[in-house]
Structure 1
Amino acid sequence: MTMTEKILARASERASLEPGENVWVDVDVLMTHDVCGPGTIGIFKKEFGEDAKVWDREKVVIIPDHYIFTSDERANRNVDILRDFCMEQKIKYFYDIKDLSDFKANPDYKGVCHVALAQEGHCRPGEVLLGTDSHTCNAGAFGQFATGIGNTDAGFVLGTGKALLKVPPTIRFVLDGEMPPYLLAKDLILQIIGEISVSGATYKSMEFVGSTIESLNMEERMTLCNMVIEAGGKNGVVPADETTFKYLEGKTSVGYEPVYSDAQARFVSDYHFDVSKLEPVVAKPHSPDNRALARECKDVKIDRVYIGSCTGGKIEDFLAAAKVFFASGKKVKVPTFLVPATQKVWMDVYGLSVPEFGGKTCSQIFEEAGCDTPASPSCGACLGGPRDTYARMNEPMVCVSTTNRNFPGRMGHKEGQIYLASPYTAAASALTGYVTDPRDFLM
């Protein structure tokens, strides 16, 4: 069996499974947030009763993160609904926010759910993690089955701890070769999506293996798995190894047992990439598979750069952007917005002095480069949000972004144009005011 088949077999107490089978699985973690949480809670109460209790108050994780720093009454009401429910149910892992004027005054508040799940130790090899968000597949970086589900399914899981899932077949992506110093995991996943299209992995598991994958740190593996949904994937998965186990040290007290694909496992297909030969890429508007080399877009004038989100707002992403700014010693030519994914990332942006930057922090380098001050951690403008959302595109603009989707209206204005790129490419583009190959500054 493949890794995904083994995880689902264990969760359904079956000796073996084949793609296409429908099975009831026991869920290890259910996550919801402020956008889908109220709907999920409503369905749970309607179907199980006003006084019903969740199946396990320690396996439900509730994270407000999407529409947080806004004066929008409905957005704020959504967080109130989560709070009331968590108090009523005594939910152990509710990462609350009460004071919107100063996120640091909220010790429980984390920020973007997918990065917070990893940092708080909720992602463990061999487990099943479901979330009411399509980018829940992010957690597959830990060698677990992680996928997004709808509010109705989540309401059912809240009451029973079980979900009915169809076992997906697996496509294997073998990435070998030394990673060039101008490439990041974002380039790899955009390369893959460009290769197979936004429907190329529909309801399939995408398993990433090879020497390149083994060399990636956990945050880069998360970037890779985060965007499998942009290829239609059911889940993405990276085999757990020493890098995984080291990341989890001190983060979780729950025991876990990793699984691995058998040598004789059946894969739908294999894709092989020699990473040493790849170049920096972007996804042009308005689809994540509209791939082009960054250097081919050098005549595209841009209005702004956005670095943030579950895909591109981790500390490694900001370190990468800072590396480009530091190497250039120049100032940005367009407004450059920085949105750390979580409170911990924000602290690292301000507190982590980097030897290769002469002991400076990322925030110091960003300030010297003329970037906007790093914002409060949240999903920010990645999903557009209310009009007063930080860095939202409220008029038609061209933006280079480290986020995950570039559909019309995704970051606000429906005539906005979004070029998806790595933090390297985003930072390089900020320095020139055009879509720019980061090799111009890193070579």
Structure 2
Amino acid sequence: MGKTIAEKILSAKSGQDARANEIVVADLDFVMGQDGTSPLAIQAFEEMQGDGPFDPRRVAMVIDHSAPSPLEGVSRLHAKMRDFARRYGIILYDIGEGVCHQLLPEKGHVGPGSLVIGADSHTCTYGAINAFATGVGSTDLAAGIISGKMWFKVPETIKFVINGRLPKGVYSKDLILYLIGDVTADGATYMAAEYTGEAIKTLSVEARFTISNMAIEMGAKVGLMEADEKTMEWVRKHTDRTFEPVEADPDAAYAAVKEYDVSELEPQVAKPHTVDNVVPVSQVAGTPVQQGVIGTCTNGRLEDLRVAASILEGRKIHPNFRLIVAPASRQVMLDAIREGVLQTLIEAGAAVVTPGCGPCVGTHNGIPSDGESVISTANRNFKGRMGNNKAFIYLGSPATVAASAITGIITDPREFLK
């Protein structure tokens, strides 16, 4: 019997014939923590009496969730991370560098066939470039920093075959919201999601990151894709390291195979307060919204900002609406400046903030008021997610957010596409 992508990567990294539901101990290629989880990992590292990381070149800490620091207590935690990084020579991405899940692929730390853990649930993002990447807790992160190893239960895999092509005005965010609405928030718990089919192949690598990023929102441990030529070209652009792509065997065993044709798919919106509460935009069009967010590890890449700018060009944001734009990294911000994308967004009335996670997780940079509704490109809309449990969060694509910013109500972006 053949193997899935997940089984193959965990077999290679553990030296075992790994099959679904077995336990393996595997060698890690990269380990990451962010400022919401790294301080606890440092504490656990000290309690474990670690004498150093297994390889400083393969450990990174990223200050992105509260960057720049909004509070004195947060500043102390950031100082703790900086001190730890200096002491042990690990990689530190400080304020302004960007979101961890943009930086690890962008800086060439991960690639096809990699095994990666990160103390953040959206570490599954890197599955878009064929890496088995998954989130862990701070204690597991500390153990991984010390040993370079981690135990895994090999996940069963659900295969998603996405046929057809996304229509104009419908994006990868709409696709993954649609899949989550169908599978539900716990429909793939502790499984690997494998995404394939014509619709996936036609997407850019940036768009694929959006899909893998939200695998966790259906409960999945990883969101994997095969490495095609687009993938390899993207990886070569970001690093000169050599990676070995991994593909599923034709006779691999899957827990389920789900097929879709997305040729007629509409823009999708997730309604408060769960990510799987998904409807076509037509069902919520006209809902008043007071704030929008374009950014995060889900949709803060250059392609996303371009889409928003194409809709907002020559237009103004509604006077009763606030639009916050958070580029995913410093590099994305620089590229968007060079192309004039940020100028277009700012001229329309957007507020551009430091690359980071603040608006998404509700630490700073845009906490909504009581009773306000937000339309966001983020990956979660739980009550209190953006820092106020009396607010309401809708999720949509950058195009949907941009269109809604013009009208002040949730709007089908196809009305504004040239």
TM norm structure 1: 0.91
Query: 1:299 offset after TM fit, Å?
Result: 2.7
- CA distance in 1 between counterparts of 2:26 and 2:185 reads 28
- CA distance in 2 between counterparts of 1:283 and 1:242 reads 32
The 5 A counterparts of 1:14-29 are: 14=16, 16-29=17-30
The 5 A counterparts of 1:212-223 are: 212-223=199-210
Aligned residue number for residue 428 of structure 1: 403
The Cα offsets for residues 42-72 of structure 1, whole Å up to 9 and x where unpaired, read as 11111124xx111111110111111112330
- 8 Å CA contact 1:394–1:412 kept in 2: the answer is no
- CA distance in 2 between counterparts of 1:434 and 1:47 reads 52
What's the secondary structure of 2:260's corresponding residue? strand
What's the secondary structure of 1:174's corresponding residue? strand
Coordinate RMSD, CA, aligned: 1.2
- CA distance in 1 between counterparts of 2:338 and 2:4 reads 42
Aligned residue number for residue 64 of structure 1: 63
The 5 A counterparts of 1:393-412 are: 393-412=368-387
- CA distance in 2 between counterparts of 1:307 and 1:218 reads 19
The 5 A counterparts of 1:224-235 are: 224-235=211-222
The Cα offsets for residues 245-294 of structure 1, whole Å up to 9 and x where unpaired, read as 11111422332111100000011111111121110000000000001111
What's the secondary structure of 1:260's corresponding residue? coil
1:291 to 275, 278, 294: 278
Q: Does 1:332 align with 2:317?
A: yes
What's the secondary structure of 1:48's corresponding residue? coil
1:350 to 315, 332, 337: 337
The Cα offsets for residues 166-189 of structure 1, whole Å up to 9 and x where unpaired, read as 000000011121221201110010
Letter of the 2:344 counterpart:
I
- CA distance in 2 between counterparts of 1:284 and 1:21 reads 37
Aligned residue number for residue 438 of structure 1: 413
Structure 1 stretches of 4+ with a deviation exceeding 4 A read none
TM norm structure 2: 0.97
Aligned residue number for residue 11 of structure 2: 9
Q: Does 1:368 align with 2:355?
A: no
Q: Does 1:74 align with 2:69?
A: no
Letter of the 1:376 counterpart:
T
Q: Does 1:238 align with 2:225?
A: yes
- 8 Å CA contact 1:341–1:378 kept in 2: the answer is yes
What's the secondary structure of 2:48's corresponding residue? helix
Aligned residue number for residue 94 of structure 1: 92
Query: 1:371 offset after TM fit, Å?
Result: 2.1
- 8 Å CA contact 2:64–2:94 kept in 1: the answer is no
Where structure 2 has 5 or more consecutive residues not aligned to the other structure, the ranges are: none
Percent identity reads: 40
1:134 to 121, 145, 152: 121
What's the secondary structure of 2:56's corresponding residue? coil
- CA distance in 1 between counterparts of 2:64 and 2:218 reads 24
What's the secondary structure of 1:172's corresponding residue? strand
2:328 to 341, 355, 360: 341
The Cα offsets for residues 61-107 of structure 1, whole Å up to 9 and x where unpaired, read as 1111111123301111111111111111111x21234xxxxx5xxxx
Query: 1:394 offset after TM fit, Å?
Result: 4.2
C-alpha distance 78-394 of structure 1, shift in aligned 2 (>3 A): farther
Where structure 1 has 5 or more consecutive residues not aligned to the other structure, the ranges are: 98-102, 104-109, 353-360
184-193 or 292-301, larger mean C-alpha shift: 292-301
- CA distance in 2 between counterparts of 1:308 and 1:89 reads 32
What's the secondary structure of 1:58's corresponding residue? helix
The Cα offsets for residues 213-253 of structure 1, whole Å up to 9 and x where unpaired, read as 11111111100000010100010001011111111114223
- CA distance in 1 between counterparts of 2:369 and 2:135 reads 29
- 8 Å CA contact 1:178–1:212 kept in 2: the answer is yes
What's the secondary structure of 1:147's corresponding residue? strand
- 8 Å CA contact 1:48–1:159 kept in 2: the answer is no
Aligned residue number for residue 307 of structure 1: 294
- CA distance in 1 between counterparts of 2:150 and 2:262 reads 37
Q: Does 1:116 align with 2:116?
A: no
- 8 Å CA contact 1:68–1:75 kept in 2: the answer is no
Aligned residue number for residue 43 of structure 1: 44
Aligned residue number for residue 359 of structure 2: 381
Letter of the 1:288 counterpart:
V
Query: 1:396 offset after TM fit, Å?
Result: 3.0
